[in-house]
Structure 1
Amino acid sequence: MKIKPYLSFNGNAEEALTFYAGVFNGIIREICRYGEYKEMESPAEYKDKIIHSDFDFNGCGISMADAIPGTRTDFGSLGHTITVFCDTEQQLRYIYGKLSVGGEVKCELSQPPYAKLYAEIVDKFGVLWALIIE
């Protein structure tokens, strides 16, 4: 069994996909567009939007898409967290620096009782990330 996050965006999934693949040095495995999916009628302006995508990094993966036309999504009021268990302090600080650009640091880099190093950031897309070294 495995769990894989699936993020839905409001028309900027491709920007997010490219951003996250860069942050995590990931490989984009798949991009499917609304225009390729003939079984679903969608507005013309959605033909190049992402109906499904995957990227992999370090044995992990995240899927994402643009929300179905006429649907608006958001990531709520911090009712979610994607936790990244980092291998080194250098790796954590690198990711922290990338995700912080245009985002909001919710918890500065710290050493709580449960971790060697920890931080929380809401990135420029509204996704809450927890970065940790146990």
Structure 2
Amino acid sequence: MRLNPYLSFDGNCREAFEFYASVLGGRMMAMLSYADMPADAQPAKPAEGCSPMPMPLDKIMHACMEVDGVLLMGGDAPAGMYQKPAGTNVTLNIEEPAEAERIYAALSKGGSITMPLGETFWAKRFGMFTDRYGTPWMINCAAEAYASQAA
């Protein structure tokens, strides 16, 4: 079994995933728009009691990126259905402080800082932020004593 984060976006999934791939060195595995959905896979009519969900054809139905053997997935929510993430973070455990600083600086640019990147009792570097796409992140570069617990 594998756990894979699945991120929801408000119409900017393609831009976010292209940015994440450039910063994290990810390899895009899939980038499927709603227009790529086969006609026979589209719902013929909404379920009883539900209003139709608009499917903007140029938006992303499913994106998948591989980074160091881990998959990060996401898609654009149908119009009017997006909800900001709450209670979760995507956590990156990074071995080298310089790499933690580079990634923190790149991903947090244009976002909002929750906790500046710095040294803690458990980490050489740790910081939290929400990026410009609304995704909450934690960057952790564990101290040697805690490195086995961060993996």
Shorter-chain TM-score above 0.5: yes
* Residue 51 of structure 1, aligned match among 38, 61, 80: 61
> Can you give the 5+ residue segments of structure 1 that lack an aligned partner in the other structure?
none
Q: How do 1:84-95 and structure 2 match up within 5 A?
A: 84-95=92-103
> Can you give the 5+ residue segments of structure 2 that lack an aligned partner in the other structure?
44-52, 143-151
Aligned residue in 2 for 1:132: 140
Distance 2:62 2:83 in 1: 15
Quick one: percent identity of the two aligned structures? 30
Aligned residue in 2 for 1:9: 9
Aligned residue in 1 for 2:29: 29
Q: Deviations over 1:62-111 (max 9, x none)?
A: 001011344122113xx111110002112101101101210112111222
* Residue 65 of structure 1, aligned match among 75, 91, 94: 75
Aligned residue in 2 for 1:40: 42
Distance 2:21 2:128 in 1: 19
How many residue pairs are counted as aligned between the two chains?
131
* Residue 74 of structure 1, aligned match among 64, 77, 84: 84
TM superposition score normalised by structure 2: 0.79
The aligned amino acid for 1:58 is D
Distance 1:9 1:73 in 2: 8
Point out 4+ residue stretches in structure 1 off by more than 2 angstroms. Answer: 41-44
Q: Deviations over 1:9-50 (max 9, x none)?
A: 111111111111111011111111111212225647x11211
RMSD in angstroms over aligned alpha carbons?
A: 1.6
Distance 1:71 1:128 in 2: 19
Per the TM alignment, residue 53 of structure 1 is displaced from its structure 2 partner at its CA by 1.0
Distance 1:11 1:72 in 2: 9
Distance 2:57 2:7 in 1: 19
Q: How do 1:93-132 and structure 2 match up within 5 A?
A: 93-132=101-140
TM superposition score normalised by structure 1: 0.89
The aligned amino acid for 2:42 is M
Distance 1:9 1:111, change over 3 A: same
Distance 1:32 1:120 in 2: 30
Distance 1:70 1:96 in 2: 31
Distance 1:102 1:72 in 2: 20
